[in-house]
């Protein structure tokens, strides 16, 4: 498993393509503060493949992220679900990248929710949402820590043949406040997600 996924495990408690929307001024300012270069391009145009979208609003301005499958010889998707070894509960995780920029870590969004003893539709528990200023998950960020945060899975599809992927859709709603990020303020975020989610072969799943 990639090192950033190991970092996600350590930093969280006891783991259809749509057109990119035009970002409003507030989010453009956020990107500038995050140090994101609007002109940066991936040196590998066909890798990684996009597998989903996270679309909605932040502070009333339209925003969008994308999920990608970075697997090369090992499973490494930015949308995945697995069994937490400590809590013995299934956790659904989404790491969204800025549209068309899978090589850029600043500006990513991370969301995690616990779905019980199986990956299933319904309201998740212990939800956490954060937008990262840089690479570090525990660095400057907009975070739902100490605030309200909701994740609801609306659909869990059947296993896609010859893969470990299932289509998963749902919604995220949270209040995000800055942690170690001067110049930012608390903002409400509302998103829908539609993505292929990578799952372990032995993971308990209740499909629609």
The token pair at 108 is 């990513």
Contact 102, 76 (CB under 8 A): no
The token pair at 200 is 């372990």
40 part of a folded domain: no
98 part of a folded domain: yes
Residue whose pair of structure tokens reads 């907009």 in the numeric block = 142
Task: Please tell me the distance from the alpha carbon of residue 30 to that of residue 53, in angstroms, as a whole number.
Answer: 20
pLDDT category of residue 187 using cuts at 50, 70 and 90: very high
Predicted pLDDT at 45: 60
Instruction: Give the tens place of pLDDT for each residue, 157-181.
Output: 998 888 899 999 999 999 999 999 9
- Reference 87, options 49, 45, 116; nearest CA is 116
Task: Please tell me the distance from the alpha carbon of residue 51 to that of residue 197, in angstroms, as a whole number.
Answer: 8
78 part of a folded domain: yes
Domain count, the chain: 1
Instruction: Give the tens place of pLDDT for each residue, 127-157.
Output: 999 999 999 999 999 999 999 999 999 999 9
170 part of a folded domain: yes
207 part of a folded domain: no
Domain containing 176: what range? 3-35+48-199
15 part of a folded domain: yes
- Reference 196, options 85, 72, 75, 113; nearest CA is 75
146 part of a folded domain: yes
């Amino acid at each position: 498993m990639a090192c950033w996924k190991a970092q996600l495990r350590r930093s969280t408690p006891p783991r259809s393509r749509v057109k990119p929307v035009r970002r409003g001024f507030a989010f453009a300012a956020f990107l500038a503060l995050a140090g994101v270069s609007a002109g940066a391009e991936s040196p590998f145009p066909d890798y990684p493949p996009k597998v989903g979208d996270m679309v909605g609003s932040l502070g009333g301005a339209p925003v969008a992220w994308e999920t990608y499958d970075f697997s090369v010889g090992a499973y490494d998707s930015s949308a995945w679900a697995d069994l937490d070894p400590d809590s013995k509960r299934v956790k659904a995780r989404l790491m969204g990248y800025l549209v068309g920029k899978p090589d850029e870590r600043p500006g990513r969004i991370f969301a995690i929710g616990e779905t019980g003893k199986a990956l299933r539709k319904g309201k998740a528990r212990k939800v956490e949402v954060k937008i990262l200023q840089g690479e570090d998950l525990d660095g400057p960020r907009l975070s739902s820590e100490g605030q309200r945060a909701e994740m609801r899975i609306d659909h869990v599809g059947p296993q896609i043949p010859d893969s470990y992927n299932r289509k998963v859709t749902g919604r995220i709603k949270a209040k995000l406040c800055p942690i170690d990020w001067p110049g930012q303020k608390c903002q409400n975020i509302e998103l829908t997600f539609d993505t292929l989610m990578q799952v372990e072969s032995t993971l308990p799943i209740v499909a629609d």
